[in-house]
C-alpha cells in the first residue's frame, strides 16, 4: 500500500500505459520500437497484477507471483523477437516496418 494513493489512480496509470503500448504497436515504423511498445503493454499488466493483489486481495500472493512469471516470459519473448529481427536485418539490412512487405494480400 502506498499512503495517499488509491487503487483508482494506479489503475488509471496502467490503463494509460496499456493503450500507449497499443497505439505504439500500430503506429511505430521501426520493428524495435514495435517491440518496445509490447514491453509497455506487458509492464502495465505486471503493475496491474501486483497492485490488485496488494490493494484488493492481500491475504494471498497469487498476483505477485503471476507478475514475476510475466517478467521472466517477457524476457524470453524479447530475446527471441530480437533474434528473428536480426536474422531479417542480415538479409535486407533494414528494420523498418515498410520494408517487410514481400508477403502481402
Partner 1 sequence: MSFSSLLIMRHEMLLLVLILLLIAGEIFIPKHKKSSLVHLAIFLFGIHTAVGFLPADTETLFGGSFRTNDMIHLFKNILNVGVLILLLQSADWITDKLIGAEKGTEFFILLFSSLLGMYFMISAGDFLMFYIGLELSTLPVAALVAFDAGKRKSSEAGVKMILSAALASGISLFGISLLYAATGSIYFDVMAISMTSSSLSILGFVLFFAGLGFKISLAPFHFWTADVYEGAPIPVASFLSVISKGAAVFILLILMFTVMRPLIDAWQNMLYAIAILTMTIGNIFALRQKNMKRFLAYSSIAQAGFILLGLIAGTQLGASSIIYFVLIYIFSNLAVFGVVQAISNKTGLEHMDDYNGFYRTNPMLSLIMLLGLFSLAGIPPAAGFFGKFFLYTAAASEGYYLLVFLAVVNVTISLYYYLIVLRAMFIRTNDHPIPYFKNSLYMRLGLALTVIGILAIGMYSPIYEYIHSISSLLN
Binding residues (CB under 8 A) for partner 1: these are 18, 21-22, 25, 31, 34-35, 38, 41-42, 44-45, 48-49, 52, 56-57, 60, 62-63, 65-66, 69-70, 73, 76-77, 80-81, 83-85, 87-88, 91-92, 100, 102-104
Query: What is the Cα gyration radius of the chain?
Result: 17
SS3 string, 76-91, reads HHHHHHHHHHHHHHHH
* Distance from C-alpha of 54 to C-alpha of 60, rounded to nearest angstrom: 9
Please report how close the Cβ of residue 51 comes to partner 1 at its closest, in angstroms.
9
> Mapping DSSP to helix (H, G, I), strand (E, B) and coil, where does residue 51 land?
helix
Q: In 10 A of CB 49, how many CB atoms?
A: 19
Shortest approach of partner 1 to residue 25 CB, angstroms?
Answer: 6
Residue 2 vs 32, nearer CB to partner 1:
32
- The nearer residue to partner 1, 3 or 60, going by C-beta atoms, is 60
End-to-end CA distance of the chain: 51
Identity of the residue, 3 or 46, whose beta carbon is nearer to partner 1 in the bound complex: 46
Nearest distance from C-beta of residue 14 to partner 1, angstroms: 8
Amino acid at each position: 500500500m502506498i499512503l495517499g494513493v488509491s487503487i483508482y489512480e494506479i489503475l488509471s496509470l496502467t490503463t494509460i500505459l496499456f493503450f500507449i503500448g497499443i497505439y505504439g504497436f500500430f503506429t511505430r515504423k521501426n520493428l524495435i520500437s514495435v517491440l518496445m511498445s509490447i514491453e509497455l503493454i506487458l509492464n502495465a499488466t505486471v503493475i496491474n497484477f501486483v497492485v490488485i493483489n496488494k490493494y484488493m486481495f492481500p491475504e494471498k500472493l497469487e498476483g505477485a507471483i503471476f507478475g514475476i512469471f510475466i517478467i521472466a516470459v517477457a524476457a524470453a519473448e524479447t530475446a527471441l523477437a530480437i533474434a528473428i529481427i536480426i536474422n531479417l536485418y542480415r538479409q535486407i539490412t533494414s528494420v523498418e516496418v515498410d520494408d517487410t512487405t514481400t508477403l502481402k494480400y
